[in-house]
Amino acid sequence: MSTPRATARRPRDAASSGRRTSRRPPSRAAIRRAELTRRRRRLLGWLLGAGLVLGVGLVVAPLFHHAVREITLPLKHEDIIRQQAREKGLDPALIAAIIYAESRFRDGQVSHAGAQGLMQLTPATARYIAQKSGGIAFKVDDLGTPQVNIAYGAYYLRYLMGRYGGNRTLALAAYNGGEGNVDRWIVSARRGDRDFRVSDIPFPETRAYVQKVLSAQRDYRRTYPTELGYR
């Protein structure tokens, strides 16, 4: 019995034997192309990220601006303000500024002196206005209604502007400090042969009030031109 011959084995190539073939190093052109590709990818990623941020910003920024404006310079009941400004011949921004200084547009405000509502009218002043304006059915509780409160406040402001010859400083000083005090301050200023100025107001609270309203009037006219009917 013959012994089987071993079959001849074919030598394995370099790859199958585990030996690595020598590779040529990449050319400079290939390196530059690879680097350019990486730069393009980074640039594309940056542009996509920037576009996403910009898109979100375009949506969020107006909402953020509106929220900040509502906190720092609130405005409500602009339809009533425009109506009363037309009827009383007043600047709507001035009415808004008084409401801002008196109550910051918060309904239901009552001061320690009993002044009520958005424009902070005392019951005595409101009854006087009701009598002059023909509001025979007026009740003090009506001051909590924005329509009534702003209407009466605008009526009183129109009265003060007329009494003091259209002088906003005097009218606002009287709105806060009382007509009797303003009358005395005017007499004192005339004795000094000069016009009455904000700095002549002896009450620090009233002086600060007048300055605050005049500043807020400018801000409301600039910030809310559409809402207050300027355009």
218 vs 25, more confident:
218
Indicate the pLDDT class of residue 15, thresholds 50, 70 and 90. Answer: very low
What stretch of H or E contains 96? Answer: helix 92-103
> What are the CA-CA distances from residue 102 to residues 85, 99, 115, 127 (Å)?
18, 5, 10, 19
Indicate the pLDDT class of residue 49, thresholds 50, 70 and 90. Answer: confident
pLDDT score, position 28: 77
Task: Give the list of residues 6+ apart from residue 206 with CB closer than 8 angstroms, or none.
Answer: 173, 176, 177, 181
* 172: three-class secondary structure by DSSP: helix
Residue with tokens 């009265």: 159
Which among 66, 106, 102, 79 is positioned nearest to 176, based on CA atoms? Answer: 102
82 neighbors 197 (Cβ within 8 angstroms): no
For the domain covering 78-223, report its CATH number: 1.10.530.10
Catalytic residues, which ones?
102
Interval 89-112 mean pLDDT: 96
80 vs 66, more confident:
80
Indicate the pLDDT class of residue 56, thresholds 50, 70 and 90. Answer: low
Residues counted in the chain: 231
Interval 109-125 mean pLDDT: 94
Which among 231, 230, 228 is positioned nearest to 79, based on CA atoms? Answer: 228
Task: Give the list of residues 6+ apart from residue 179 with CB closer than 8 angstroms, or none.
Answer: 160, 163
57 vs 180, more confident:
180
Identity of the amino acid at 129: I
- Give domain limits for the chain: 29-72, 78-223
DSSP result, 176-226: HH-HHHHHHHHHHHHHTTS---GGG---HHHHHHHHHHHHHHHHHHHH-TT
Give residue-wise pLDDT tens across range 144-157: 999 999 999 999 99
**What's the predicted TM-score (pTM) here?**
0.71
Residue 74 has pLDDT above 70, yes or no: yes
pLDDT score, position 64: 47
